Amino acid sequence: MSLSRSAFAWFTTLPTNSILYWADLEKQFHQFFFSGVIELKLMDLTSLRQRNDESVAAFIQRFRYVKNRCYSLILSDQQLADAACKGLLPHIKEKYTSREFESISQVASWMTGETRSYESKKPFQKKMSFVEYSNSLDSDE
């Protein structure tokens, strides 16, 4: 028995050790494939954009999740990497414009530690909080 491409893609997204028995696999399979899950299209993938408050790693994870829901998608690893890079925030994307990535994993490993957002690029603004100070002693002591 062979797995279809979509079933294999779904299976690879399951958390490690989440399936202990055949019944667990059957239950998760039915919940996913027969619960009204809609197949996503190439447009869903290419329209993804990194959010201002999202790290590169979180964006790549979200990109992979959407890619795994595009069951009939046939793109090379390099085409997927290009699509992921196009969705990055402009200030991150422009740092890597001269670099060609061969896979999404390579994008993720090169950009590990990238700042999350435009918000983190804003000039530092010190926040101050004030605490009321009282010099009187309680007489209950």
**Cβ–Cβ < 8 Å for 59, 83:** no
Q: Where are the domains of the chain?
A: 1-37, 40-116
Q: What is the pLDDT of residue 47?
A: 94
Could you say which residues of the chain have pLDDT below 70? 1-6, 34-37, 113-141
Q: What is the pLDDT of residue 120?
A: 45
Cα separation, 83 vs 107, in Å, equals 11
| Chain segment 119-133, per-residue pLDDT in tens | 444 444 444 444 454
Q: What is the pLDDT of residue 37?
A: 62
Q: What is the pLDDT of residue 17?
A: 81
Q: What is the pLDDT of residue 106?
A: 86
Cα separation, 21 vs 64, in Å, equals 27
Nearest to 71 by CA among 24, 33, 126: 33
Nearest to 83 by CA among 34, 45, 114: 45
pTM of the model: 0.56
